Amino acid sequence: MTAIRTAIVGWGMSGACFHAPILADLPEFEIAAVVSARPEAVAADLPEVAVYPTVEALLAASDVELVVVASRNHEHFPQARAALAAGRHVVVEKPFVLSSREGLELDRLARAGGRMLAVYQVRRFDADVLTLARVIGEGAIGRPHTLVARYDRWRPQVRDRWRERPGPGAGILWDLGPHLVDRALGLLGVPLTVSARLATMRPGAGAVDHFHLVLGFEHATAVLHADCLTLGPGPSLEVHGDRGSFVNYGLDVQEALLRRRRGPADPAWGRENDALRARLTRLAEDGSIVEETVPTEPGAYQRFYLGVADAIRRGAASPVDAIAATRVVRVLETAEIADRDGRVVAYADPALEAAATAEEPDR
């Protein structure tokens, strides 16, 4: 396979830490360009890579095949739209966009142009999620009826950065919410209702730093929570079914490695601390209750980009398609309405569900 010439748009934490180390360790890709207003920062990490000041300059001068949009949340839509219009394949960091209307437009552009469009919901490849998938596949917990997923943080000081200032796409609902919502929808399907409590809890906070969402499904419920003032974290993921319960503490190790610019080639990649293994409580065949610690599947964020390579070079499906990511955005939109109005809100979006049934394009 010829390496896919790739551009990264944005050289902040997302582009430099969460995308570049993975791309650099996979022979399927070549980081050929970066879009950044800080060329000196890029040169310190990638001295041989061309740096462009804007997406427009990149698209006019570079022959890259794939554009990775890792910029500020409100910039995702216009930059992805420009790249698709220029005939490039596109990966967009989460949150995909800031409205379901924008998500549908990008999906339409990708389909019309026969381009690959994927959204970086990479926590589908967290160790606990992959372990849960194996446990469910083995029938150990039966039919899931309740999911509780959370990010408990202790960050009492408000930082002066765009994510914590007032503005579109700021706050932890749009930062951490996409991971938790994608987790719920991946397990339970399309929700029927959304209720939400959004708040600013820390003194001086300008953007949401606390959320509590409840999603109602036909036969299940998901409770999704995150805040910045929890010193003693609870379970990160709980799934209860009609034959057992899966409860996991702790977070995947891959993000910590990426923050140190270490990718899949590192020997520690994907390995888990044994103390963080999940507990499984299940019914045995004789009706007795069995409690056990289950082995952890290795985390595998690289599987996202290997899926991108397969989609571009072999015509496989996008590893995280635009419709799935737009459903996540729709939940976040609906949560804002539910919090504003103080009521349970129906999730339904006929235009989105109609698009979900559209035929996949030939590539």
DSSP state of 229: B
One-character DSSP codes across 61-120: H---SEEEE-S-GGGHHHHHHHHHHTT-EEEEESS--SSHHHHHHHHHHHHHHT--EEEE
Percent of the residues in the chain that have a pLDDT greater than 70, as a whole number: 97
Report which secondary-structure segment, H or E, holds 214: strand 210-216
Q: For 320-336, how does the pLDDT look when each residue is reduced to its tens digit (9 = 90+)?
A: 999 999 999 999 999 99
pLDDT tens column, 33-78: 999 999 999 999 999 999 999 999 999 999 999 999 999 999 999 9
Alpha helices in 293-349 (DSSP H): 302-314, 322-341
pTM: 0.94
pLDDT at 276 exceeding the cut of 70: no
Handedness of CA 320, 323, 328, 329 (dihedral sign): positive
Nearest-5° Cα angle at 120, 25 to 149: 115
> Do residues 211 and 200 touch, judged by C-beta distance below 8 A?
no
Question: What confidence category does residue 273 fall into, taking pLDDT thresholds of 50, 70 and 90?
Answer: low
Longest dimension (CA), the chain: 68
Q: Is 111 exposed, middle or buried (0-12, 13-18, 19+ CB in 10 A)?
A: middle
Mean pLDDT of the chain: 94
> Do the beta carbons of residue 172 and residue 211 sit within 8 Å?
yes
pLDDT of residue 363: 42
Cα separation, 3 vs 161, in Å, equals 35
* Token pair in block for residue 132: 């849960």
pLDDT at 97 > cutoff 50: yes
pLDDT digits (tens, 9 = 90+) for 335-346: 999 999 999 999
Q: Which of 181, 77, 119, 129 is nearest to 323 (CA)?
A: 119
Residue (of 213, 165, 210) closest to 193 by Cα position: 213
* Residue 357 scores a pLDDT above 50: yes
Phi, then psi, of 306 in degrees rounded to 5: -65, -35
